[in-house]
Amino acid sequence: MKGRRIAFAVLAWLFLAGVVVQVFLAGVGLFELADWTLHADVGWGLGSAPLLLLLFVFAARFERRTVLLTAGLALAAVIQPELAAARHTAPIVAAFHPLNALVVFWLAWLVAQRSLELVRATSPDAEAGKAVEPTEAA
């Protein structure tokens, strides 16, 4: 069980790092150091990555709060590239793309932080497959 929790934590932190890289790539496009292709390509990949996190959150048997945060992250990440894709047909919808990026970052940060707390808090109850709350509130 602890191995699954560690895998979840690694994936959560890698996703957060990917979000930070994505913001950098937006800056690269904004300041015309390159076109927006790399930002778009990475964005489509990042959009589906939290679905893997969602599988791991259930496999690691995390408690309800972590499951809900991860589900929220998956939802926000999946719609993120769709918001950008709406720029030609619904620009007002596309305008939510940078705002949703803040939500994705915030949720990714919460999930990553929480994953570490839960790995550290793994007890014999968690090893037995029971959901365990972290010792500190995230």
What is the DSSP track for 29-83? HHTTSS-SHHHHHHHHHHHHHHHHHHHHHHHTT--HHHHHHHHHHHHHHHHHHHH
pLDDT at 131: 56
CA angle 97, 103, 104 (to 5 degrees): 85
pLDDT at 138: 46
Query: Do 119 and 3 touch, CB atoms closer than 8 A?
Result: no
d(CA 64, CA 105): 21
* 10-residue stretch averages of pLDDT, the chain, 138 residues long: 92 97 96 94 92 94 95 97 96 97 98 94 59 53
pLDDT at 1: 78
Going by C-alpha positions, the residue among 58, 56, 38 that lies closest to residue 46 is 38
- SS3 label, residue 111: helix
